[in-house]
Structure formats: structure tokens, C-alpha cells
Chain A
Amino acid sequence: MAQATLRHDETGDVPVLGPGHTYGTVTDKISSIVLTEPPRPGWIFGFAVSFVLLLMFLFAVLNLLVRGIGIWGVNVPIGWGFDIVNFVWWIGIGHAGTLISAILLLLRQDWRTSINRFAEAMTLFAVSCAGLYPLLHLGRPWLFYWLLPYPNTMALWPQWRSPLIFDVFAVSTYATVSLLFWYVGLIPDLATLRDRAKSRIGKVIYGFLAMGWRGSARHWHRYRTAYLLLAGLATPLVVSVHTIVALDFTVGIIPGWHTTIFPPYFVAGAIYSGFAMVLTLSIPLRSYYGLKDFITDKHLDNMAKVMLVTGLIVTYGYLMEAFMAWYGGNPYEEFMILKDRPTGPYAHTWWLLLLCNCTIVQLFWFRYFRTHPIWLWVISIVINIGMWLERYVIVVTSLHADFLPSSWGMYHGTIWDYMTYYGSIGLFLTLLFLFIRVLPVISITEMRELVHEVHERGHARGGPAVTPGTAHP
């Protein structure tokens, strides 16, 4: 195997791939996490904690099903609480994956390569968590299928004007396309794992999942076409899903909900939180598994830039919401946006939200914060919290003081709300830990391509000739 080295870009930019990688080292490095290493103590510990949280989630859900929605803090007037807050939050987090995979693919941003697999998996798991909430939040969850247009003896169809029905389709479509996109992208890597697997079971399972991939030119041709098509299909979904989630609120007439700015700023907020979650997860991951050559500071920098842009869009959304509340002259909206949110009983959530989402992100104007992993990690968590608070402010604060002061009320999450919330994080992390162990967290195929591209680029610039080694199966 020929050894080759990759140099820094001549522009001085941090490269998207660490130096010295060949096809073989990339493959070895990424697949080793799955196939050769025994579980590391850190993985075991993380998985154990996540699994305990997952068990707590199952317990909370069981209790919910047995006793009823009343174990949560929801009431009249605040009919939605943590359930919908968490739903929107998870859906938002689920946006980064498809955005990174599809849109950046179409835009030919090669830095996406090392994070797309991971981000897509995160998307899937986040959407799984999100999808549970609308089901669980029903008063009678066992009748969730009534929201689907299925033939029934009552000849009843769903009520198509309700945004909740839009939601059913938007979220399920998004989940399906994301899953397909992710799986199609995995096929060549599954073949690599099949070929490198040493155990019989591994060979059979990976072989089954690889769907007979042999790496022929025809396979590659078809694969490329399908992948691009799916990317094209997924792209509008990035915008549509959170737009429709925003419609859940904008269609309502509640002051604080009924505003046209929600769809665009929900989408921006979703990307914002999605990238924050990618950073939150990938920074420890790359450090722990030594993947810094693949997820480089360049990636961190780019993601921070995306967050800065979306953070500014979100801030603009808040500003316009407040401006329209004043300019529109609707006394209910004026009261809600300009009076109750900043000074009412939930004022602390509002100010905290501004701090987390609008203020702290301004640090990303500085390159130091964009490339410093610790700072990035802390800020990304702060933004995740901020985006959760944003949904809390929208859902709870708007509902707690609407039109008739006689009906105003207060909402506080109960222990079961928190257990369900943290439990769903447990579900998310459990899936993520399993994913790290059984599937390549970075696309081997695409990394090999990247090695090739970087090499070509270096070659064109007159650097020393390097020959990337052929990939060993």
C-alpha cells in the first residue's frame, strides 16, 4: 500500500480532511469503530446512561397510557405543554441532517461529506422522538390511527383543514424520505462492512442489508442517480416540514400564534437547532474516536457560520414579531408579545430565550469561537436550550393569557413531563450509541471520494504527486 500525504490547502484554510490519508486508512479508521474495537468504556458508560433514560421514558409512557394525560401539567387554557414543545424541538433538530445531506450535496459542498451520515442518523432518531409526542399527547393515544385517511365503516375521513393532519403527512413523509436517503447512502458502506466482517453473523446481516452490492460501474451509476434524486426529493421537505409545524400555530387564532412570520423563522430555527445538535454530538464523538482528521476544524467553522446566519434570521423573526405586534394594533397581540412575554409570569423564559438564541450566537462573528471546540460545544448546548425555550414561549406563554382574562392560567411541567422529556433524550442517545457501534458514523465511500478529490486538487496545484492507495475491501 503506497503511503501518501495530503498537505494543507495552499489557501491556508484548514482542510476538510486531515493529512496523510489514503483510501485504506480512511476505511480502516472508520470501520474499525464498528468491527474491530471492543466497546470502549466511554461507550459502555454512555450507552448505559442512555438506556436507563430510555427505560425511564418507557415507564413514563406506560404510566401515561394507564392513567391518562392528566399526569402531565397540561390544563385549560394551556392544552399543550411539554408534549408539543418537545415535538417541535425534536423536529427542529431533525432538520440538520437532511439539510446537510441533500441541500449541501446539491450545492456541491464537499465539507458535508464527513458529517452527513452522522447528521442523517441524528435526523432519523430525532424524528423518531418527535413522532412519538403527537401520538402520546392524544387524550386517547390508542386511537391515533383516526388521524390517517383509512377506509372505515363510519365513512369518516380526517378533517383536512386541520394543520394536525398536515403534520401527520409532513412528518411521516419526512421520516420516510430521510430513512430512504440514509439507507441508500449506506449501501456501499454496508458492502464494505460485509466484506470486512469477521463474524458469520456480521457477514450475514451486513450482506443482507448491502442488497448484493458489488461495486460494479452499473451499481455506481444507478446508486449515484438514485442518491441525487432522493436528495432532490428531500430538499423541499427540509422547508416544508417545519413550515407545516409552524402552521399548527399560525392557523390558530391565539395571540402569539397567529402570525405569518412563523413558517420562515421556524425553518431557520430548525436549521439553527439542528446544527447545534450536530455540533453537540460530533465534537465529543470526533474527540473520543479520534476522528479529528475527518471532522476537522473546517467543519466546525462552517457549521458555526450556518448557525450564525440562521441565528440572525431567528433574531430577525423575533424582532418582526414584536414590530408587527406594535404596528398591527391588535390589542391582544400587543398585550401578549409586548407586555406579557417580557413582563408576565413567564418573563424569565423569554429573557433567557433572547440570551440563548440571539445574544450568545453573536460570538460566532469571531473565528476563535467558531473553531474552538470547547466554546463551540458549550454554545451549541446553549442554543439547544434556547431553541427549546423558544418553543416553550410560543406554546405555553401564548396559551396562558389569551383573550378573556378570566380564563388565564398557569402551566408547569410535572415530574412526568420531565421524565418523558429526558426519557426521549435517552431514546435518542440509545439509538445513537447503537448506531455508532453497528454502522459507520462517517460515509466511507464518500470519504474515499474526498481523498481522491483532495489528491486531484493537490495534483492540479502542482504539489508532489501522491497516489492514494486502492481501497482494500
Chain B
Amino acid sequence: MNTQPRLAPNHPIGDEVRRTTCYMCACRCGINVHMKSGEVAYIEGNRDHPINKGVLCAKGASGIMQINAPSRLRAPLKRVGPRGSGAFEEITWDEALDLAVSWLKPLRETAPEKLAFFTGRDQSQSFTGWWAQAFGTPNYAAHGGFCSVNMAAGGIYTIGGAFWEFGQPDWDRTKLFILFGVAEDHDSNPIKIGLGKLKARGVRVVGVNPIRTGYNAVADDWLGITPGTDGLLILSLIHCLFQAGKIDLDYLAQFTNAPLLVVEDGPEAGMILKNAESQPFVIDRTTGQPAPWDAKSVQPDLGAVYQGNRTVFQHMAQRYLAPEYAPEAVADRCGIPAPRIRALAADLARIAFDEAIEIAQPWTDFRGNSHDKMIGRPVSFHAMRGISAHSNGFQTARALHLLQIILGSVETPGGYRLKPPYPKPIEAHPTPHFTAAAGKPLAGPHLGYVRHPEQLALKPDGSPARIDKAFTWDAPFSAHGLMHMLIPNAHAGDPYRIDTLFLYMANMAWNSSMNSGEVIKMLTDKGADGDYVIPRIIYSDAYASEMVAYADLILPDTTYMERYDCISLLDRPISEPDAAGDSIRWPVVEPDRDVRPFQSVLLDLGARLGLAPMVKEDGKPKFKDYADYIQNHIRRPGVGPLIGWRGADGSQTGRGDANPNQLDRYIENGGFFQAHVPAEGAFYKPWNMAYQDWAVQTSLFESPQPYLFSIYSEPMRRFQAAAEGIGPHQPPDHLRETLKRAMDPLPIWYSPYAENDFTIHALTQRPMDMYHSWGSQNAWLRQIRGRNFLYIPTKIWEAHGFKDGDYARVTSPTGEIVVPAAHMAALNEHTVWTWNAIGKRKGAWALDDDAPESTTGFLLNHLISELLPDIGDGIRRSNSDPVTGQAAWFDLRVKIENAGPHVAASPAFAPISRAVPRGKTRKAPPRKVSQ
């Protein structure tokens, strides 16, 4: 006998679905927010959205716990006790803004550089940068310098694009995918969707990573490489391919600077040989004579020698055929057996050349030559922070692009595809602007791509123009600034003293700084006069992070569901290889606290300061709020923050006047817009006229910008030559040797490590279910990952007699931590690691003081210093890549001891006073559907 309850599971989910953009990490997926009785009830992925196509990660689906988190700041706060004491009083917004104006206005009128405005995980950099430019301070950047600038700049300087929002593998066509160390929050769902596609097709996935978790867990082959040696492995693969002649010569000849000639001798040695019109040229194979590089039907000769000057290709061959790159020579250093390297090279060659694919799509290149099909080399790569956060990361990123290029797989079917507005040649990027003048805006954008030593951000006396010393000889190509140097430099008054530090969404008093304890001291340090060394600190964040306690004025931001945002093609858009795309966030719920969206506050502040682009002629504010700006700001004629539905009637794409209903159109469309690349322009984009014309029409460029891939980097050679003593712009002597090596114009590998007896590599990884600090305030995510362990490989585990429950004492040249240890076999035998940013300071994030994040949770940051130990010349060099200044987090090496059982990790910091009360219960979901 069976009877069962009558169940009618057929009810509406909610009253309404509001489609906006996620902000639980940097991935920017589309979300459907299901509302019940005006409250958020459930969040799922938006199937129509180009980024996530309906799926959503663990963080995104937990957004409901974030927007209701007890850690949300509630009102503007003014510091009343000593800095760091956490003693604040609530003030009104008018008081807060008046106070900020009283600090900033005198700076603008006398010395705008005394404001340093740095934003962290900001997704409105084209706006915040514009604001800083209007203010006139050269001291603006976001967090890229301590994140992944090597990856971005290495790519831009080589192929005119990079990974993540710059490009992605051709997931639907590739037949072999190789993944190098990844930051999981970068392109998180797209990579997972892509991996899923590969797995469904049975495509082989190779993981190159010291740690076999996550994506590497599903990799068919895992190369557990020793950290910092990825470049060596890549160059060894290149060696094998060169040795066997398995390189795409036609691709190299047509689309790269491999056939250009390199000046052999003289003062111009190493530069690309130019003709009388100062243009580079090639030798045509059919005539044996010089020919313009972009001439129709030219057949560039890769093997030419012209007046004693050899081609780039010959320089490449000579370097990479050298026995030092043979697999047998690199195997031990990389921790990968030589036969595995040779097997991988053979796979790459076989699939790229023997399993090449063709798409019957005619296209025309920039030389005017017609092609009847598109040939693809279906091997693809992706890389991110794992190779980037080393002091050789720039060269390693370049090496990886070189590998893709010699296989002919960049921008070809089955290979690596760039996403509009990329590809974009280096010449199409701005150079840095940095000259501050009292009461004046900056002449142009702060950040850019330096091509020549004369473009460095140096004052006439040779001293750095920027507080972070970006674009100096210390870090010539620091395209994202050096946020990790900001506080140490400001504290040291080197290169000069600043007055106000203005930070947005950057947890510099904790997990976003190297050496957090020292940074905390710098923030609270007082000079002989009894004033703080960094006189004023303004901070904006939505949550009670560790940084809040160290600010003098808090401007509380909204959560991502309570605001407008603009993910713009002027900044870091959501394009796909087949479409330019941008998107918005919009307030799906109203704030229940006295908080304001930061961007609207900046506009208000700008108007109160009288910054020209933010006020009308009558001095009244030009923009009501950020939404008004998004819709009505005109960056250059016809071009604004969003490309969709432009023109008064919304009929135009890319270019057109402001549309008063633009945001409504975005909201109707699910919060995003896409402009599709024509089929003829889908591949070979840097050289494909159909794409170039479309890009101009879509406002990505003002004119077509075809270019050759820079295998040989002339900008780098200029800096190398300067280091050799050539030219009027000369680096300081202590940097010469470093620059000679690091600025090699052809990709090279050098050890990122100092020789010392700290021999164990120590890394962090970002879990897929936490975004930096944010996850710990999330009632669901912190149950999944509320504590972290130091994972120790079998050999070290056994050698030190570790048992479950033991703690490890980990020491670096600059610090020591004692932390919970755990065993892991699927790990490079010289490497230990932990999850990033799980450790929390007591009192922050509305957590209990006994929360595991604050007791056993820990950071590796305490082991890392922004300056390396003195090597004997009295100079402490920056712990960063000498080319870009990228923070070399992953260069960390340590010693390990078994510390036995402990109850809590150390160092333990004293609790900070709470900016919000401790969280008690979490909000229950709304139950009632009003329908």
C-alpha cells in the first residue's frame, strides 16, 4: 500500500526578476535576482549573459548573505580617538564631505600631488582615473601592480593583448589546452565553462602548477613545476620546437616582427633597422630586396641578412636552439622530467600542425591580400597570477606568448582569441601623464605603456614624479602603478611627503599589503612633531574591513545590489572574442543604511571642489549621481562609458550622443550590451581589415590599427641599451645589471631568487569559493572555508615528523609565523602553500573574536617584505619585477620547522575596535510571494 503526500511544487519563485551584474569577485557575471516582497530571495546566473551563460559560482550564489551581512558599514564615520583605536563617531554626509573638501581643496590649490588616490578592487577605473586626472594628482592607480600587471603588460607589449578580459582560448575548437598557474577569481566562470566544454569533448588538459587542486585536479596531465621556473619550461618547449623545425614560419613571416632586421653594431645596436623614412622593413624573398613591411604581396624573408644585419628570427633561433634550454638541462630546476617536456613539445607540434583546422571563411589582411580560408592551430594556453607574481614574471609572460606565436595559434581558430577592444598595439595606448600643477588637472591619463626612457615619470631632477615610483627606472613598464609601494613610500617620505591618502576598496591594513604588521605601524606612526607621518587617510568601503580602523574619515559605500556601476569598454569590459560587450549594475534594492555609492560621492566631492568636468558653468554639479554620469559623460566625441543604445533615440552602437534612456535599455536587456564582430573578422583580428573596420565603427579605435606581434621588443631594447650606457637617459648604477638582464628584448628566463638558505617555496592560492577577505563575512562561505592550513608536501612532512594537528613554524628572511599544518601529496616537493586571505584580524568583518579566521586562520603576508634584504651595497631593492614593478608575492621562500601542537596561529594581533557590532544571526529569506 502506498500513499504519498500530494505535492504541488508549482509556485512562482518570486514577484519579479531583476537582472544585474554580480560583484562577488572580479568576474562580472550576469545574475537574475529573484525578488519577494521587495527583498532579494534567490540569485542565479543569467543564461543570456556573455560571461557566465547562466552558471554562477559559489560566491555569486551566496550574494544574498553578502548584501545582508552584519559587517556592512552604516553611516559616515569620523575618527575621534587615536588612529587604529577604532574610536569613531557617526557624522552626516554633509559633515563628511565638508571635512573631505577642507582637506583636499588646499591640496588642489597648492600641490595636487599631495593627494594619493588609490583604488583596490575597483571596477570603475576609467571613472576614478578621470576624477584623479581632474583633481590633478599624478598619484592614482588601482591594484593591478600587486595583482597581475606582469600578465597584462607582458601580453600587451608582445601580442597587444593578454589573458582574462583581453582574450581566451577558442574553447569550442581547441584540441589541447595548457593551463599555467591561475588566479581563480580572474575569469573564473568562463574558464570553468571552457574546461567543461573541453571535458565534454574529451580534449586533453595539461596543468602546469606546483599545486594540484581545482582546475589542476581535473587536468589529464599535471606538471608539478617548481615555482618561478615556468619561463624555463616554456623556453625548453620552444627549444624542442625550433630544433624539430615545428614552427609556423608563414605566420611568423606575415604577422610578427620575426622578419624585421636588428641592427648588428653601432650606437643603434639592437634596435630594429629602419629605412630612410624611419620605417622598419623586410627583405622580400621573391626579390631579395628591402620592401615595406606592410606592402601588398610582400614575402618577408625570415632568414635574410641585410648589410650585416640579421632578422629577429635568426636571433630567436640562435638563442632558443642553445643547449641551455634543452629539456635535460632544465628538468631538475623545473622539477619536471625531460621526457615529459619532450612529450609535451611533441603533442604541441602534432596537434598544431598535423591536426590543424580550417574554417572556410575568406578574409582580407591589412596588406590587402585576400585569403580564402582561416587556418587554425588548435592548441591553446591560459595563464594568470601563478607565473605573473614573480620577479621574472614579465619575461615569463612574454615567453608564453612567444610559444603561442611560434605555433601560429594566437588569433587563429582553435588557438588563443583576443577580445575587443583587444588586440591593440602598444602605440595605441597612452603614455603616462604625471606632471602636477597647482589648481590644474593632469594633462592626460595616469597610466600607460612606456616605449622610451624619455617617457618615464621622472621630474626634471630625475626623481620620481609619483609617490609609488611607478614608471621609474625601478619599474619602467609599471602600467598599473605600484599600490604595494604606496604606504611604505608615503611613510618614508620617499620620493616626497603626501598629505592625504584616499583609498577605495583596498584592505591595505591587512591582506592586501606585504608585511601587514609593518604597514599597520606605518599607518599609525607619528613624527617628531606628534602628527601622523601620513597626515590624513580617507577610506571608502562597504564593509568593516581591517583597513577601516586606520582611516580618519570613512565614506561608507553601498553593496553591489544597491548601486549603479558601469563595466565599460573604456576600462575592463565584458567582451567575448566574437563581441564587444559592456554592462551595468543597478539598484535592485534600496540601501537601508546611511550609505552612498562611492562613485556618486566622488562626483559630489568633485563638484564641491569645483573640478572642471564635474561642474556646470554656473558652478552647480554637472552630474546628479553616477547613473547620470554613466549616461551623459562624453569621453571623446560620440564616445561615452557605454557603447549600447547610443544616440538620442538609442539607435546607435559604439558612437553617438548620450541617450537619456540608455540605462533603462540596459536594464531591459539584462544589464548588458553586445556588439558582434562580423564573421569575416572573427580571427586574425590584428591583421584582419574586416575586424579593424568594425573596431573603428564600434568606437574601439579612431582609425585601423594593424600591427605585427612584437617577438623582439624594441621598447625593452631601448631600456637595455640605456642600462648599457647608451643614450641621454641613464638609470642609476645600482639598477644597470638588473635592467640589462630583465630588459632583454627577446624572452628569456632568469632565476627570480636570491641565493640563500631559504629553499622552500611558499605560495598562496585563491579558493574558488572566497574572494579575498570578502568571503569571511558571508554566513555560507565561511562555513565552507573558515580556516586554512599550510599544506606541506610528503617529503618535508615526513622529514620533520609532522602529525595531524601539528603547527609549522615558517620563517622567511623578514618574518615568522606559526600556523596549522596539513599534509598534501599532490604538490611540488619543494613547495608549501595555503589559501589566500582566510586569516582575519579580531574585531573586523563583524565576526566573533573567537572566529576560526581570527584564531587559527593566518596570512603568509607577514613573511613577505616589499623590500628585499640588502645584498651588500646598502640598497634594499623592491621585491618586485624589475620591468613592471609587479609585487613578487610568489618569490617567497621559507624554512619550515615542526612546532608541534598549538591552539592558535601567530603572530596574533590585538583586536581592533568594532566599527559595526558583532553579527549574531543571519537574515532569513523572504517567504511571501505577493503574486
| Bind each other | no
